[in-house]
Amino acid sequence: MTAPNHVDRRLVLAAIAALGVASVMTQLALMRELLGAFSGNEITLGVTLGNWLLLTGLGSWLGRGTGRLREPVPWLAGGLIAVAALPLAQVFLLRALRNVVFLRGSTVGVTETVLGSLVLLAPFCIVSGWLLTLACVILGQREGATGIGRVYVADSAGSIAGGALFSFVMVRLLDHLAILYAPALLSLAVAAVIAWRIGSKRLVVAASAFAVAISAAAFLADADAVSTALQFPHQKIVFRQNSPYGKLVVTESPGQFNFIENGVPFVSTHNVGQVEETVHYAMIQRPEARRVLLVGGGISGTAREILKYGVAEVTYVELDPLIIAAGRRFLPDALADARIRVVQSDGRLFIKQTAERFDVVIVDAPDPSTSQINRFYTAEFFAEAKRALATGGVLSFGLGRYENYVSPELGRLLASAHATLRRSFANVLMIPGGRVFFLASDGPLHADIAARIAQRGVPTRLVKAAYLDAMLTPDRMADLARAVAQPAAVNTDFNPALYLYHLRHWASQFRVRFGWLGWLLVAALAIYMARLRPASLAIFASGFAGSALEVVLLLGFQAMCGSLYQQIGVIVTMFMAGLAAGAWLANRRSGASSRGLALLAFVIASFAALLPLALTTLGGASVTATQAVVALLTFALAALVGMEFPLASRAQFEGAAATASRLYTADFVGAFLGALLPSVVLIPLIGVTAVCWLTAGLNAAAGVVILLRKG
């Protein structure tokens, strides 16, 4: 055994690698849980990731006090025990308390999402950030700035392993609580070894007791079943399982099944009106159609409803195989007909690659609440859909909900979709049903839907003359005409205007309170940025670049290759691998200078400025080539970002605690702003190219400041 203040370097690095594994797995699990609990969109994801980084940065800043600890190593072991226990408690409490804190079934607003995620994430994030600085102090006492670089590499390596295991293995087989057992036991094992090496019997007993308790829970209890039941009281849960796309729950209430993915109900067996409107407005335009493409929604009954028109084949494309499997199990009649061909693929990628031609294409997708869904409403997608249509074919989709009033936010949403459709189609017809349905074609479109359905003799339960007479009144049609007459931006893949309009429409339903707490946060960030030293400014700028440009790369990847989650997981893993490789290479250098740090900032700025050109050039490349190039660009970006941290720690070393705390805080705060602002505000508002140039300007400015102030 060794003294409490000394432990082998490899054990310290193993502790940080275990922390990296636990951090990335906890982050992914909690983001998915929060998305489901708050029925969220990309704002929820942006807020959650932003709060995660900000709170971890706060923990790193608080870690500056670890330099005064007389015996820091026992605190490292104790922190790992906390890291093991906290995520499991957080997931369970989130499920148990969601319907206690917020009204059951209600949509949680922006303010509540911010505050709720802050409270939930704070314990783990603050502890993990504090432990990073603590590990730098332990190694920095012996190795100086080199020790700080080694901690950064170990954390990145652990994140690679955790992200890969979560994305490619565990999420396909286990629920979130079961997934979190693995990093918990790993952290406890490392904590126990460290405690044994320093002779701390209390910590050995504590780590062992927690490990036994977690093992017993894993093998003897079903915590996921208990906590999921708390999320859906008074309903019988007949199915629950994770896929790479989210958590799918099927509940049974008297006479119906309800399919709920990530907390959002998307299929109920008695929703006849939605099924009929989705199908008949489009199909009655071309009642002699032989081949129909349906993107999403098939298990709800839309695929079977299309068969009423005597079509030869319905091609139903669904991304998540778990939805198809659950649909076949609980709603077997929905897909039982031999004329329904089921294709498991991303709908946009299928349309882009298919050589088939369809008489009608129906996109049964949610509103563009995320950049992923927005891909089905862009000018590029409409052009691809037109190529997949036979001559005079019809494209149909629903957007928004119009009761009896078109709000300004809804009006801009509809106007943008209309303007975007007119880029590809000569004729556009809008039907104000439960949703506002858009029909687009180069052939004729007909508004006398009830008469045509009656003439054709198609049996319907809701979409009949009485219902349509109430919906298609002159005043409602005039409201839509006025809405789309206003100027609105065209929605494109890299300038997602419709996504921005939808976020505004969504936010208009809540009272967003930007009170004293919000202004205090803005003021604190402004003061913090104004006081950054040159090396810290470089780390802040590179942290912003890492997050912002990764968002850009993922957005470009989705637009060109579809939602291929396996490959997106590869990209995220490539980013973490690049961070580790860059930090490892920089850490091998024996010296550092302000000039070298400034040069690296200019290289990152150049990368950011040229990235839009690279993505534009890839537009005509094959999917395989695009995947490979985007993965390489991601690795290169991350390597540049990873190289800065060790260089900055040597260029501005003022003791392990102060240096590690200052640089980790700058990194996390920069990454916080880079994750939140581009995804939620800047890309929808000013577009991808402007965001890249803004990122380039920030890093170039950091390089200039370093040269002028020389460290």
* Mean pLDDT score, 107-134: 83
- Domain membership flag for residue 506: no
* Mean pLDDT score, 542-553: 89
- Domain membership flag for residue 504: no
The upper half-sphere exposure of residue 674, i.e. CA atoms within 13 Å in the direction of its Cβ, equals: 28
Lowest mean pLDDT: which of 15-24, 303-312, 684-693? Answer: 684-693
Q: How far apart are CA 540 and CA 303, in angstroms?
A: 51
**Structural domain harbouring 346:** 267-494
- Domain membership flag for residue 201: yes
Count the Cβ atoms, other than its own, within 10 Å of residue 308.
17
Q: Percentage of the chain surpassing pLDDT 70? A: 90
C-alpha 479: how far from its chain's center? 35
Residues 404 and 456 in one domain: yes
Question: Residue 142: is its pLDDT beyond 80?
Answer: no
Question: Residue 502: is its pLDDT beyond 50?
Answer: yes
Q: How far apart are CA 82 and CA 79, in angstroms?
A: 5
* Mean pLDDT score, 482-486: 90
Q: Using an 8 Å Cβ cutoff, are 212 and 185 in contact?
A: no
Q: How far apart are CA 700 and CA 609, in angstroms?
A: 10
Predicted confidence (pLDDT) per residue in 634-674, tens digit:
999 999 998 988 888 887 777 777 788 888 888 888 988 88
Q: How many residues does the chain have?
A: 711
Q: How far apart are CA 540 and CA 59, in angstroms?
A: 16
Question: Residue 34: is its pLDDT beyond 80?
Answer: no
- Domain membership flag for residue 621: yes
Tell me which of 331 and 140 has the higher pLDDT. 331
Question: Residue 346: is its pLDDT beyond 80?
Answer: yes
Chain mean pLDDT for the chain:
85
Q: Which long-range contacts (C-beta less than 8 Å, at least 24 apart) are formed by 430-434? A: 430/477, 430/480, 430/484, 431/277, 431/281, 431/471, 431/472, 432/402, 432/471, 432/472, 432/476, 432/477, 432/479, 432/480, 433/277, 433/281, 433/398, 433/471, 434/273, 434/274, 434/277, 434/401
- Name the amino acid, one letter, at 49: L
Question: Residue 484: is its pLDDT beyond 80?
Answer: yes
Whole-number pLDDT of residue 67: 83
Sign (positive or negative) of CA dihedral 290, 429, 365, 37:
negative
Residues 167 and 275 in one domain: no
Tell me which of 73 and 517 has the higher pLDDT. 73
What DSSP letter does each residue of 39-60 carry, written as one string?
T--HHHHHHHHHHHHHHHHHHH
Angle at CA 313, nearest 5°, toward 308 and 316? Answer: 95
Phi (first) and psi of residue 489, to 5 degrees: -70, 145
Tell me which of 393 and 3 has the higher pLDDT. 393
Of 464, 494, 524, the domain-final residue? 494
Sign (positive or negative) of CA dihedral 511, 512, 517, 520:
negative
Whole-number pLDDT of residue 498: 85
Residues 522 and 538 in one domain: yes
Task: Give me the CATH number covering residue 460.
Answer: 3.40.50.150
* Mean pLDDT score, 323-346: 91
pLDDT confidence band for 291 (50 / 70 / 90): very high
Q: How far apart are CA 562 and CA 353, in angstroms?
A: 11
Question: Which residues, 6+ apart, have CB-to-CB distance to 699 below 8 Å?
Answer: 538, 541, 542, 545, 601, 602, 604, 605, 608
Q: How far apart are CA 374 and CA 58, in angstroms?
A: 34
Whole-number pLDDT of residue 111: 67
Predicted confidence (pLDDT) per residue in 200-225, tens digit:
999 999 999 999 999 988 888 788 88
Q: Percentage of the chain surpassing pLDDT 90? A: 36
Please tell me which of 117-126, 253-262, 289-298 the model is most confident about, judged by mean pLDDT: 289-298
Residues 540 and 447 in one domain: no
Query: Phi-psi bin for 515: left (phi > 0), alpha (psi -120 to 50), beta?
Result: beta
Residues 61 and 210 in one domain: yes
pLDDT confidence band for 593 (50 / 70 / 90): low
Whole-number pLDDT of residue 644: 87
Mapped onto helix, strand or coil, the DSSP state of residue 316 is strand
Rounded alpha-carbon distances, angstroms, from residue 458 to 299, 430, 446, 450, 621: 21, 22, 16, 10, 45
- Domain membership flag for residue 619: yes
Strand 389-401 and strand 358-363: the pairing is parallel
Nearest Cα neighbor of 26 from 46, 49, 44, 42 is: 49
Residues 323 and 462 in one domain: yes
- Total domains present in the chain: 4
Of 226, 255, 279, the domain-final residue? 226
* Mean pLDDT score, 353-363: 95
Question: Which residues, 6+ apart, have CB-to-CB distance to 68 below 8 Å?
Answer: 657
- Domain membership flag for residue 252: yes
**Would you call 595 exposed, middle or buried from its count of C-beta atoms within 10 A (0-12, 13-18, 19+)?**
middle
Residues 196 and 282 in one domain: no
Q: How far apart are CA 640 and CA 108, in angstroms?
A: 39
Question: Residue 165: is its pLDDT beyond 80?
Answer: yes
Q: How far apart are CA 188 and CA 650, in angstroms?
A: 32
Nearest Cα neighbor of 388 from 415, 416, 418, 356 is: 356
Lowest mean pLDDT: which of 250-254, 296-300, 588-592, 678-682? Answer: 588-592
Q: Using an 8 Å Cβ cutoff, are 404 and 370 in contact?
A: no
Q: How far apart are CA 601 and CA 140, in angstroms?
A: 25
Q: What is the 3-state secondary structure (H, E, C) of 511-539?
A: CCCCCHHHHHHHHHHHHHHHCCCHHHHHH
Q: How far apart are CA 273 and CA 560, in angstroms?
A: 34
pLDDT confidence band for 571 (50 / 70 / 90): confident
Question: Residue 82: is its pLDDT beyond 80?
Answer: yes
Q: How far apart are CA 626 and CA 616, in angstroms?
A: 11
Q: Retrieve residue 454's tokens.
A: 């009656």
* Mean pLDDT score, 566-585: 78
Residues 410 and 362 in one domain: yes
- Domain membership flag for residue 308: yes
Residues 437 and 359 in one domain: yes
Q: How far apart are CA 295 and CA 363, in angstroms?
A: 5
Residues 248 and 278 in one domain: no
Residue burial 18-32, b: 16+ Cβ < 10 Å; e: rest: bbbbbbbbbbbbbbb
Residues 323 and 439 in one domain: yes
Question: Residue 467: is its pLDDT beyond 80?
Answer: yes
pLDDT confidence band for 416 (50 / 70 / 90): very high
Task: Give me the CATH number covering residue 625.
Answer: 1.20.1250.20
- Name the amino acid, one letter, at 301: G
C-alpha 439: how far from its chain's center? 30
Q: Which long-range contacts (C-beta less than 8 Å, at least 24 apart) are formed by 209-214? A: 210/81, 210/84, 210/85, 210/184, 211/185, 214/84, 214/88, 214/181, 214/184, 214/185, 214/188
Q: Using an 8 Å Cβ cutoff, are 382 and 420 in contact?
A: yes
Question: Residue 477: is its pLDDT beyond 80?
Answer: yes
**Would you call 617 exposed, middle or buried from its count of C-beta atoms within 10 A (0-12, 13-18, 19+)?**
exposed
Q: Using an 8 Å Cβ cutoff, are 392 and 360 in contact?
A: no
Tell me which of 2 and 538 has the higher pLDDT. 538
Whole-number pLDDT of residue 649: 83
Whole-number pLDDT of residue 339: 96
pLDDT confidence band for 564 (50 / 70 / 90): very low
Task: Give me the CATH number covering residue 27.
Answer: 1.20.1250
- Domain membership flag for residue 256: yes
First to last CA, the chain: 42
Q: What is the 3-state secondary structure (H, E, C) of 57-99?
A: HHHHHHHHHHHHCCCHHHHHHHHHHHHHHHHHHHHHHHHHHHH
Residues 573 and 672 in one domain: yes
Of 465, 494, 523, the domain-final residue? 494
Q: Using an 8 Å Cβ cutoff, are 181 and 22 in contact?
A: no
